[in-house]
Amino acid sequence: MSNLRIYDVGICSPTRVQNPCGVKLNQSSSRKFLLNSLAFFIFHFSLSISYAQLVGFPVGPRTTHTHERNARTQALSLPFFDDFSLAKDGVVNPTLWASGGVYVSNTTTINHPTLGVVTFDGADAVGRPYNFATPSAQGSADTLASQVIDLAGLAPADSVQLSFYWQIRGLGEQPDPDDSLRVQFLDDKGAWLTVWKQAGGRQDNNFNFARISLRDRRYLHAGFRFRFQAFARQSGQFDTWHLDYVYLDKNRRTADRFVRDIACRLPISSFLKRYQAMPLKQYMVRPAAETADTITTDIQNLNNVFNSTTFSFTLKDELSGRVLQNVQQPSGQLIAALSSQVKNFRNTAITAIDTTVTKRLSLVSRFQILTTDNANPSIPSIDLRRNDSISGRTILDDYYAYDDGTPEYAVYMNRPLGRTSVRYFLNKPDVVSSVRMNVVPILRDLTGQSVTVQVWSNQNGRPNALLYQKSYRINYANSRGGFVEFPFDYGVAVKDTFYVGWLQVGQEGVAVGLDRNNQKQDQIFVNLGTEWVPYSSFQNDPNLAFFRGSLLIRPVMGGKALPPVTAVEPQKPAEWSIYPNPTSGVVSWERDDIKRVEVYSSGGVLLKYQTQQNAERSIDLSELSDGTYLLKLTNNEKTVVKKVMLRK
């Protein structure tokens, strides 16, 4: 059985910290540890299954880049407030902030106060590592800085205070003891001074409240700014911290921690029972069976006094504007102080759809709380009804997805010739035309290296016959959480149940996103050469809790199956044989359609490759030392890996 390694990565050099609030800094430590179990690697941590290894690392949802050129030129005035509920496409409000790589989501944390949380890690706004050349690089990472705030004319007696909620790790990767999240103030001399610091090294599922008083006159000037800065491993989305409900104002008192605000919080559950997205034609075969019984979210009361709310729920197709459900809660419902409350609405299947006319539905579920958060507001001039609604989207189009599109981790198979697959269920026979994968940039740049995408049939609930495979060059999406599409040369006919996945040839595994909010690990299977192993057989191991979820790999359906077969013909050994084996240097083969040959060490490291011309049927290994190597032969239809022994 292989080892599962979990990496607590990221180091920064601690600095002397000023702490005017008397906050006790946590210096607890964390250590890398080993797990024995599965055959995968989950990015942001490492995990292994018997027969293979799964390595894991934390990652984040799709965002686009924000540049400081969008910053305000005129100073802001108090109060300064942001709960990040109004963020668009994962990007903070540029009129309030200058962002340095952070992103806003609602899926990467545990027990967050309100809808919308800012996350810090070791990758920039589009998910690329700050240092892609050195995997162990450590130092300053994401930064979130306020725009200029005019504090001129204020004095320490005016009780100017900054408060916020923060969380370590959440659903991301655990910061090490030398990692940190810091708050810095810009003084009247233009210097950034650290006034608050939290060190990594401990797990805490709570969002903690912090308050910092501006008692030093150096900060009470017209050009004041504050910023949050993470120190972490810079080779990917490691060492995660989360931030919410940032509030700076004067005349603040201890009691104002409790805000009269009832907010929406958790993401809305899927309209579908088994998937987050599925082909519309497949849904319409069995709409009642594919529709979830209820749609769920929750709300949070941030006040230390109970309150009453009324709810409404709507479901509509945003493409046509057609309202499919509209439910009003008949009377108010009490919510206790400082507590959350689940909200459910009974779901109804969609039946009256002509798929010859309608090809796609984009179903938007929207919950709206009716509150009086704007009456006698706790934060002057801020209408806290801003977080009183939340929406979710379910796509019925041409693809399947167990994931919600926001990976919190990523996984890769680190064993040469290891295979990973995900199971999907059909309501009628169909054709797979391509596969979309969330390929995560982390640790090392794999651009240009190869990955082999595969489709398998089903037998007794596990992958059986190989229906299709093709090698592709790896590239990364241009956005955090984006997908890369791998189109097939022809449609692959499938029925009942099928599997899509990838073959790992080299040691440098291709990282694929893992959505921890939708735990479909029972649909994942791994194979190191002789037997498919269900990932779910290890899910009861408490050490694997952070590795449960659904892989961001999506089969695209539709088209015609060409050629009209349901399986790849069995390989004829003679067609792919290599000789001599053992060899003293030159290795040859009979096939005249080989397009590319790659040579790997027995550990899976790519040592050599060459693109073949039609007349070439050999490769020279004489510059390598004696030993056993893996020879990967690729034509336009399939890839075969052979072992070869070199003896000079």
- φ, ψ dihedrals at 413, nearest 5°: -85, 120
Residues in contact with 444: Cβ distance below 8 Å, sequence separation at least 6, in sequence order: 132, 135, 235, 508
Whole-number Cα distances in Å, 629 to 24, 408, 598, 599, 614: 55, 36, 10, 7, 24
Please give the pLDDT value at position 7.
25
Which string of b and e fits 199-208 if b means at least 16 CB within 10 Å?
bbbbeeeebe
Q: Is 542 exposed, middle or buried (0-12, 13-18, 19+ CB in 10 A)?
A: exposed
Residue of 461 and 648 predicted with greater confidence: 461
25 pLDDT higher than 70: no
Reported as a pLDDT band with limits 50, 70 and 90, residue 610 is confident
10 pLDDT higher than 80: no
Is residue 487 reached through a cis peptide bond, with omega within 30 degrees of 0 on the bond before it?
Answer: no
For the chain, give the percent of residues with pLDDT over 70: 83
Q: d(Cα 50, Cα 537) in Å, to the nearest integer?
A: 10
User: What is the model's pTM?
Assistant: 0.79
Please give the pLDDT value at position 313.
95
- What is the token pair recorded at 538? 């290890």
- In 153-199, which residue ranges form alpha helices assigned H by DSSP? none
Q: Cα Rg for the chain, rounded, in angstroms?
A: 27
Q: Is 526 exposed, middle or buried (0-12, 13-18, 19+ CB in 10 A)?
A: buried
- Alpha carbon 404 to chain centroid, angstroms: 9
- 49 near 93, Cβ under 8 Å? no
Average confidence (pLDDT) over 633-648: 83
User: What's the mean per-residue pLDDT of the chain?
Assistant: 84
Strands annotated E in 130-255: 138-146, 161-168, 180-186, 192-199, 208-213, 226-233, 236-249
- 524 near 536, Cβ under 8 Å? yes
Please give the pLDDT value at position 545.
60
- What is the token pair recorded at 603? 């550990």
89 pLDDT higher than 60: yes
Is residue 563 reached through a cis peptide bond, with omega within 30 degrees of 0 on the bond before it?
Answer: yes
Please give the pLDDT value at position 14.
27
* Domains of the chain, earliest start first: 268-397 (2.60.40.10), 409-557 (2.60.120), 573-646 (2.60.40.3080)
Which helix (H) or strand (E) is 503 found in, with range?
strand 497-504
Residues in contact with 168: Cβ distance below 8 Å, sequence separation at least 6, in sequence order: 174, 175, 181, 198, 200, 202, 203, 204, 240, 241, 242
46 pLDDT higher than 90: no
Place of tokens 């490691």: 238
- Residue pLDDT, tens place only, 243-260: 999 999 999 998 889 999
Which helix (H) or strand (E) is 283 found in, with range?
helix 280-285
- 458 near 523, Cβ under 8 Å? no
Closest to 593 (Cα-Cα) out of 578, 570, 576: 576
Lowest mean pLDDT across 449-453, 551-555, 578-582, 613-617:
613-617
For the chain, give the percent of residues with pLDDT over 90: 61
Place of tokens 């709960």: 83
Q: What are the beta bridge partners of residue 473?
A: 450
Closest to 297 (Cα-Cα) out of 390, 424, 192: 390
- What is the token pair recorded at 440? 């995560």
- Residue pLDDT, tens place only, 537-569: 665 666 556 678 999 999 999 987 665 433 444
CA quadruple 564, 566, 569, 571: dihedral sign: positive
Please give the pLDDT value at position 2.
28
3-state secondary structure of 218: helix
Average confidence (pLDDT) over 574-600: 85
Reported as a pLDDT band with limits 50, 70 and 90, residue 120 is very high
CA quadruple 215, 218, 219, 222: dihedral sign: positive
- φ, ψ dihedrals at 224, nearest 5°: -65, 140
- 290 near 272, Cβ under 8 Å? yes
Average confidence (pLDDT) over 361-384: 94
Pairing of strands 389-397, 277-279: parallel
Q: Is 119 exposed, middle or buried (0-12, 13-18, 19+ CB in 10 A)?
A: buried
Residue 498's identity, in one-letter code, is: F
- What is the token pair recorded at 297? 């979210």
Please give the pLDDT value at position 4.
22
Reported as a pLDDT band with limits 50, 70 and 90, residue 189 is very high
Place of tokens 């594919």: 290
- 607 near 628, Cβ under 8 Å? no
Reported as a pLDDT band with limits 50, 70 and 90, residue 103 is very high
- Residue pLDDT, tens place only, 424-446: 999 999 999 999 999 999 888 98
Q: What are the beta bridge partners of residue 629?
A: 601, 644
3-state secondary structure of 151: coil
Reported as a pLDDT band with limits 50, 70 and 90, residue 508 is confident
Average confidence (pLDDT) over 531-537: 83
18 pLDDT higher than 70: no
